[in-house]
Amino acid sequence: MKDSQTPDLFVPAPKFIAPSDMAIEPIIQPSIIDTQFITDIYMQRPISIQNLRMGAWFNSALILNDKTFAGFVSTSEVKRYIVQMGYNRLPDLLNKLTTFNKSWTDK
């Protein structure tokens, strides 16, 4: 039994009704690939290209002709540059990197 001085704690939320003439479109953002996924694929490269540093591998896999990759020694430098240049937003990136590895496996 409810006391008349006890406030009602349940208040139903108002319903939102969109006007019929208002078009609701999804916001499409480019997919951003975490560099850890790129590193994972790099670490799975076949023995025949084990001597390639990450920058040279990434540059070759995507046929970028970006000479900056040649100067990097560590993978962290390469990953920072990939993000800085927006290469981690390229369409179908992971598939291209995996396909590059597979092309060397078949040889």
The token duo for 17 is 């009704």
Report the share of the chain in percent with pLDDT over 70.
70
Per-residue confidence (pLDDT) for residue 26, from 0 to 100: 47
User: How far does the chain reach from its first CA to its final CA, in angstroms?
Assistant: 81
Does some domain include residue 3? no
Per-residue confidence (pLDDT) for residue 105, from 0 to 100: 81
Q: For the residues 67-90, what does the mean pLDDT come to?
A: 95
13-64 pLDDT per residue, tens:
555 555 555 455 544 455 789 999 999 999 999 999 999 999 999 999 999 9
Does some domain include residue 9? no
pTM over 0.75, yes/no: no
Number of domains into which the chain is organized? 1
Does some domain include residue 77? yes
- 65 — phi, psi (to 5°)? 55, 35
Alpha-carbon distance of 98 to 41, in angstroms, equals 7
Residue 34: which residues within 8 A CB-CB, separation 6 or more? 88
Q: For the residues 72-77, what does the mean pLDDT come to?
A: 95
User: Do the beta carbons of residue 38 and residue 82 sit within 8 Å?
Assistant: yes
Sole residue written with tokens 């078949």: 106
Find the domain containing 96 and state its range: 35-105
3-class DSSP assignment, residue 93: helix
Does some domain include residue 57? yes
